Structures are given as structure tokens and as C-alpha cells.
Amino acid sequence: MEDTRVEQVRERYAAAALTVLNRSEQASCCGDGCCDTTAETLDESGAGLYGPGYTDELPEAAVLASLGCGNPLVVADLNVGERVLDLGSGGGIDVLLSARRVGPTGFAYGVDMTAEMLELARANAVEAGATNVEFLEGRIEAVPLPDASVDVVISNCVINLSVDKPAVLAEMFRVLVPGGRVGVSDVVAEDHMTTADRAALGDFAGCVSGALTRSEYLEGLAAAGFVDAEVQFTHEAATGLHGAVVRAVKPA
């Protein structure tokens, strides 16, 4: 079952990347590309969540491939000189924005398991002239970076797609320096939503049935070793499901 879900996610995001690479139509998180929650969420996804002017200087393909449910850069409040890791970096929009925010003395990594997305992201980085970025092929359950190598971990509507969320949270903790922080946008369920309730609302690859509840998220972060964790709902994605910001800190 887990392998099937991984392939479903990989295929859906590969198709979304190819759509942008071929310029045949615009990809949207709530369209056929990926996180298709409900029709009512069309204005609550993708590049539209970054605000006017935020993405103006980015390559068009990076903006078109924006498939998230929030703006993790605002959540993480990045500073000049920091090293940032984006889990499930897709077409690279959050990596490129992070690279701009941390400046030439900082660095931004992206990890993605989909070859087509990596191809798109690397092309976008070249077009943007970004030299302080690197896109790595890998699973977010086994990040290809050493221990204590980044100051901040961000992610945009991807952790809900993992088949092993405890492993993802453990990897986030491992790669962060002491005192490092997490700033994530994700789809999160209300605590009363059972596994069956979530499955009834949509499929796993569509960012629905795999969503954690708020309590599950907080418990998972605590189990991984994080402190000062919080999960704040920002907008409704479907009945009982919300776009949310997730913050936590690795003890110094």
C-alpha cells in the first residue's frame, strides 16, 4: 500500500511538472495537477497565496508550478545568511524565494523525489541566476544532507503526502542545527476527523486523506524532540480540513 501511494504521488507531480515544462496549460494545486481538495479552494492555493508582487521577479515556470497551500517563507521568517531546506521543493518557487531572502551569504536546498520536478527546478534556478541554491534528489523521509546542516526547514503542502510522517519529522530534527526552526505550510485536519473521515473527502495524492490532525502533528513534533510547537489554521480547504502553518524549534 505504501509503495502504491508513493507512486501515485510521484506520477501526479511528474505530470504537473511536465505540464509546465511543455507550457501546454497552467498547473494549479487544486486542479488536475496535485492537491485537488475542493473547487472552493481554487483561490487558496498555489502562487495566489504569496501576495501581489511577491513572485514578480521569478521565472514564469516556477510560478506556474507553485502547488502549495501557503507561504512558508513568511512562516519561517528567514534571515540573511541562513541555510534553508525545502522539503518537497517541486518547481523550486520556495527555494528561489528563500535564496533571495537569505542573500549571497546564505544558501537554499531543495529535496524532491520527482525527476521531472527536479529538471524544472534546476532550469528555473538557471533562468533566475540563483547561485546559492541546490536541488537534491531524494525522499523527505531520508534527506540527503548531513546532521545539523541547516538553520531552517520549510515545506509547502508536502508533509501530508508522506507515507511515513514520523520519519519526516525525525529527519527535520536531524538536519537542523541546535536552535534551528521549522516553518511549514500544510493541510491539517481538525481533531475530530477520523482516518475514515479524511479518506472520504479525497485521495492520498490529492493532499487530503494523508493529512494529520492538529493533535497528531503536535504529538509527532514532540516525539521527534521539538519544542514550542504550534499548528495554526489559516483557511478551510474542505470540511474539517484546513491550510495551516506549523512552527517548532529544535532545542539549543
pLDDT in tens, 196-248: 888 887 655 556 678 899 999 999 999 999 999 999 999 888 889 999 999 99
- Write a three-state SS string for 61-108: HHHHCCCCCCCHHHHHCCCCCCEEEEECCCCCHHHHHHHHHHCCCCEE
Position 73 confidence tier, pLDDT thresholds 50, 70, 90: confident
Query: Taking the C-alpha atoms of 18, 24, 26 and 27 in order, what is their torsion angle to the nearest 10 degrees?
Result: -20
Q: Which domain holds residue 18?
A: 2-249
Tens digit of each residue's pLDDT (9 = 90 or more) over 88-100: 998 898 999 999 9
C-alpha cell at 211: 493529512
In angstroms, the first-to-last Cα distance of the chain is 38
Amino acid residing at 202: G
Distance CA 46, CA 125 (A): 19
Residue 31 has pLDDT above 60, yes or no: no
CATH of the domain at 224: 3.40.50.150
Which candidate, 50, 138, 30, places its Cα nearest to that of 93?
50
Number of structural domains in the chain? 1
CA distances for 162 relative to 139, 157, 235, 244, angstroms: 9, 10, 22, 17
Tell me, rounded to whole angstroms, the distance of Cα 159 from its chain centroid. 7
Task: For the chain, give the mean pLDDT.
Answer: 82
C-alpha cell at 248: 517548532
Residue 188 has pLDDT above 80, yes or no: yes
